[in-house]
A and B are shown apart, each in its own frame.
Chain A
Amino acid sequence: MSAKGRATGPLRLLLLAALALSAVAPFALLAVQSGARGWFFPAFLPPALDLEAWRGVAAGGSALAAAFATSAALATLVALLATALALPAGRALARLEAPARHLGAAAVFLPVAAPPIALGTGLQVVLLAVGLGGTAAGVLAAHLVPATGYLALFFLGVFGAYDERPEEAARTLGATWAQTARLVTLPRLARSLGEALALGFLVSWAQFALTLTVGAGAVRTLPLEVYALVRAGQDREAAVGALLLSVPAMLALAALRWAARRTDALPA
């Protein structure tokens, strides 16, 4: 190894240590805070720890537990519906040639780029007009907007490199559209479908501004609950909520990376 290589070694180790601290310390802080009792300035370490805040969630009767269930149900439905909507849209977009493809990509990027509070302000009135304002169905419809945009872009990428010849061969050999979809297309897209479901789940799971404007405070998802706890200074409960908000998201990303690594789609 050259002298220059040895000189940069300690710098890389320092950067690695900084990344490790940046990645792990925040969650360690949340974990400690979720059990800390009476932890105020200037105490650097909590005077006492217990699991009272977690017991409240585990018992199932707390607002956090209810919000967790609401968010999980919403995010699962959004993932399924957005995937069903975005897959044909992404495939249709991938068949376009430039410049129509750029125009199409820009159009589906609009729901992603639109600031949620601005999007929510516009959607709120429309959903109120059809009687969905302040309802879980209205929040579901609102979450579908950015989720479908994200997934349409995702499937545009998938189908941009997709070889349609196996489907063409199946149709040539007499398979119906439904048979081709079931026996050829879906098995080839199984991994992408899993990734899309995870992405769609994540988009809905973390939504705040759309839920706030469209749900009008009546639909209590986990992000709204955590926000209220942070604003109220209820640090223990807020830390529990923040961890509940983070863990499913990290599991979904871990599943995505595992699936991608199986196809060598990501650098190791």
Chain B
Amino acid sequence: MRTRAGLVAAALVAAPVLVGVAYAVLAALGLAGAGATGLTTARVARVLAERATWAGLGWSLWVAGAATLLATAGAALVALAFRGAGALDRAGRLLAALPLPVPHLVAAALGVQLLGQSGLVARAGHALGLVARPDDVPALLYDPLGTGLILTMAWKELPFLSVVAASVLATRGARAEEAARTLGAGRWATLALVTWPLLWRGLMPAVVAVFVFVAGNYEVAALMAPSDPLALPLLTAERAVDPDLSRRGDAYVLALVALGVGALAVAAHEWARARWGATAE
């Protein structure tokens, strides 16, 4: 009875996504939506054969991976550097977490103002005599590598990961580290063989969540990403309003690709939680 109630509750919460997926599948197969012509896999085959699809997906995954890696490294450094109970440690943790509630759109607006070729960083360069004109400044926005976007998202996601990392260190590992030091392990050996494995395992669910969120974020990409390759969220939105009605259904195929990435992340997240989320002290 309890099992059924719990699973029904979960199904109800997931239902809108499942309904959306079901409609997207029907539209992708030509059975619904604008440009529907009856059951066909031609649209799916065409979209999956397009360079833009894989370029967009690859670019989104590259940006998500790079930003997540940077944010995770920063969060681990902050958590390890400020894990004590003193005033300096509390200040470090607080400052690291302060930007946590900043909406992603605000982070993007800041990124544009700071990193643009006539942005504040460029003006600081001019004041220091390093650049004369905006053209002299390397393009960090709308560039093929997504440099500005990666830096912006790393800044945005670091607070969340640092809060999780601090929590992991505060609630796990103290006894294991104590035991290692008692058995003669040095400071760096304890860090490498005890602290770091506990930290990254405890962080893994949050890292997966950050990765999938960055990969699927629309507004930051809309303000900072290049037009070629076009990030997957932007490509999806572009096809959804395509003047050619027969191509609007492509948006559903792309949405299913994005949801597939999300579903893989959910599976990875749950696997990480099940594997390491309940690790006892």
Contacts and interface: CB of A to CB of B under 8 A. Distances in A.
Given A12-B88, A111-B13, A149-B13, A242 B109 contact: yes
Nearest to B231: A117
Interface string B245-261: 00000011011101101
B58 interface: no
B255 A121 contact: yes
B14 A107 contact: yes
Given A41-B118, A213-B237, A230-B108, A92 B5 contact: yes
Contact of B23 (A95, A122, A238, A239): A122
A219 interface: no
B28 to A, nearest CB: 11
Interface string A89-124: 110111111101111111111111111111101110
B236 interface: yes
A247 to B, nearest CB: 9
A227 B85 CA distance: 41
**Mostly helix, strand, loop or mixed at chain A's interface?**
helix
Given A16-B91, A111-B17, A206-B105, A230 B33 contact: no
Interface stretch (B93-101, B176-184, B193-201): B93-101
B45 interface: no
B217 to A, nearest CB: 8
Contacts, number: 274
Interface in B1-46: 2-3, 5-14, 16-21, 23-24, 27, 32-33
Contacts of A152: 9-10, 13
Chain A contact patch, size range: 35 or more
B192 interface: no
A98 B219 contact: no
Interface in B61-77: 77
30 contacts: A15-B77, A19-B96, A23-B98, A29-B120, A44-B120, A44-B126, A92-B2, A92-B10, A100-B3, A101-B6, A110-B14, A111-B13, A115-B217, A115-B232, A115-B259, A118-B216, A119-B17, A121-B236, A121-B252, A122-B24, A123-B16, A126-B16, A208-B105, A223-B105, A226-B109, A230-B109, A230-B112, A245-B103, A266-B167, A267-B166
